[in-house]
Amino acid sequence: MTIEQVLAEKLIAAGWTVAVAESCTGGGLGARITSVPGSSAYFTGGVISYSNAIKTGWLGVEASTIERDGAVSESVAGAMADGVRVRMKSDLGVGITGVAGPDGGSPLKPVGLVFIAVSIHGLIDARRCLFTGDRVAVRASAVETALQMLLAAVDSVHAKES
Percent of the chain past pLDDT 70, that is, above it, reads 97
Confidence of residue 161 (pLDDT cuts 50, 70, 90): low
pLDDT: which is higher, 156 or 10 = 10
144-159-16-7 Cα dihedral, nearest 10 degrees: 30
Q: Measured between alpha carbons, how far is 12 from 159 in angstroms, rounded to an integer? A: 16
Which pLDDT score, from 0 to 100, does residue 121 have? 84
| pLDDT of the residue at 160 | 59
Mean pLDDT of all residues in 28-48? 98
Please report the pLDDT score of residue 158 as a whole number: 62
Q: 153: which DSSP letter?
A: H
Whole-model pTM: value is 0.96
Query: In the CATH hierarchy, which fold is given to the domain comprising 3-161?
Result: Maf protein (3.90.950)
Do 91 and 120 contact (CB within 8 A), yes or no? yes
Q: What is the mean pLDDT of the chain?
A: 96
**Confidence bin at 46 (pLDDT 50/70/90):** very high
Bridge partners (DSSP) listed for residue 129: 114
Decide if pLDDT at 135 tops 80: yes
